[in-house]
Amino acid sequence: MQTWKRLGDVIGRNIAIVSPVLVLQAVLFPDLFSGLVRLVPFMFAIITFQGSLGNDFHNLAEAFRHPLSLLITLAMAVLVLPLLAFLLGSLMFGDSPNLVAGIVLEYSVPVAVVSVMWIDMYAGNSSLGLATLLVSTVLSPVTIPLTLHVLLGTRVEVDALGMVQSMIVQIALPALAGTALNHLSDGWGKKTLSPAISPATRMMLCLVILANSTAAVPYLRSLTPRYVAAIAFIGVFTAFGFALGLAASRLFRQPRDRAVTIGFQSGLRNISAGAVIAAQYFPGEVMLPVIAGVLFQQVIAALFGSFIERRWKGAGLEADAA
């Protein structure tokens, strides 16, 4: 068992190195890994279950009773980052409206499911993370069309039923099961089960990176200087999202665990949802900035986690939630 746990620790400590290697492998050998795509919802469900084992119903209720941290993250995800993406994207690519649309769409989708794993890995507030993930996903059938209409003048009809079904399978049921198990077992889920299955969820993250990265292959094989610039923009803006979330948490004097959560959930987006909407309602070029996110999100999340461990431990951010 100790060897198994050490394996998970090795993956966690080196994920900043592992992630770009996985992306490169997926781009070089897409046919080898494309079959993993159908397993992604199942792996997301397991990741959510493991991330929720650190909760009980009292902690989850606390996240809603004191919603400032949740509201900060939602403000970043729903208002601030989409607006900044539109303004900066228009400044850089104003003569390419499809690229601007893709950039805005990338930051109009809800918080990524995998954020709960990163929050757990770096001692964030998992109850807050789950609460924000649920609210972000529930609101997305309204917030996505509204954001796209206001910023782009585009009308889309999001598949609300499909999104709710996906939320139930990937988020709600696994989160409820993990929270209930830990609550009813007086903490056994957090102390014993979560560390036991944590290495498996970290391996699943690697498989998710491989699966999602294969979607970028058709666009990476037809690159133009303009496309390279758009991909670079997404990389920089992704890093900016993490940094802005952390800055907002500092501005509102959030404790360390909540600051970690806000940072991760400001930076990580549900790219799968964005890709589906791009494919259904927009020209093919819009897909490029959306899919470009898979090249950067997990790599930057790993670097962000390493930054927190090295630079922010004890540096003015309290260890526990207020």
SS (H, E, C) the chain: CHHHHHHHHHHHHCHHHHHHHHHHHHHHCHHHHHHHHHHHHHHHHHHHHHHHCCCCHHHHHHHHHCCHHHHHHHHHHHHHHHHHHHHHHHHHHCCCHHHHHHHHHHCCCCECCCHHHHHHHCCCCHHHHHHHHHHHHHHHHHHHHHHHHHHHCCCCCCCHHHHHHHHHHHHHHHHHHHHHHHHHCCCHHHHHHHHHHHHHHHHHHHHHHHHHHHHHHHHHCCCCHHHHHHHHHHHHHHHHHHHHHHHHHHHCCCCHHHHHHHHHHHHCECHHHHHHHHHHHCCHHHHHHHHHHHHHHHHHHHHHHHHHHHHHCCCCCCCCCC
Kindly give, in sequence order, each residue whose CB lies less than 8 Å from that of residue 210, ignoring residues fewer than 6 positions away.
22, 25, 26, 33, 36
**89/102 Cα distance (integer angstroms):** 9
Sign of the dihedral through C-alpha 258, 246, 204, 108: positive
Per-residue pLDDT at 228: 93
Distances, alpha carbon 176 to alpha carbons 9, 45, 54, in Å:
26, 11, 12
Reference 321, options 259, 264, 265; nearest CA is: 259
Residue 243 confidence (pLDDT) above 80: yes
What total of structural domains would you count in the chain?
A: 1
Q: How confident is the model at residue 91 (pLDDT cuts 50, 70, 90)?
A: very high
Is 313 within the bounds of a domain?
no
Which pLDDT value is given to residue 318? 46
* Mean pLDDT to the nearest integer, 261-276: 90
- Is the pLDDT higher at 206 or at 276? 206
How confident is the model over 128-170, as pLDDT tens digits? 998 998 899 888 888 988 999 899 887 666 676 776 777 788 8
Judged against a pLDDT cut of 90, whether residue 100 lies above it is answered with: yes
Structure confidence at residue 67 (pLDDT): 92
127 in a structural domain: yes
User: Maximum Cα–Cα distance for the chain, whole Å?
Assistant: 59
Instruction: Look up tokens 């994920």; give the residue.
Output: 15
Measured distance CA(316)–CA(229) in Å, rounded: 37
Identify whether 321 is part of a domain: no
Give a yes or no: residue 250 inside a domain.
yes
- Over residues 200-205, the mean pLDDT reads 89
Tell me whether residue 124 is in a domain. Answer: yes
Compute the distance between CA of residue 242 and CA of residue 57 in angstroms, rounded to an integer.
28
Whole-prediction pTM value? Answer: 0.84
Q: What is the mean pLDDT of residues 251-268?
A: 95
Is 30 a residue whose pLDDT tops 70? yes
Q: Is the pLDDT of residue 310 over 90?
A: no
Q: Is the pLDDT of residue 105 over 60?
A: yes
Q: Any idea which residue has 């004191």 for tokens?
A: 66
Flag whether pLDDT at 252 surpasses 90: yes
CA–CA distance, 215 with 80 (Å, rounded to integer): 27
* pLDDT tens, position by position, 176-194: 899 899 989 988 998 999 8
Structural domain span for residue 271: 7-308
Q: What is the CATH number of the domain that holds 247?
A: 1.20.1530.20
For residue 27, is it within any domain? yes
Residue 44: pLDDT band with limits 50, 70, 90: confident
Q: Evaluate if residue 10 carries a pLDDT over 70.
A: yes
Residue 319 lies in a domain: no
* Residue 157 falls inside a structural domain: yes
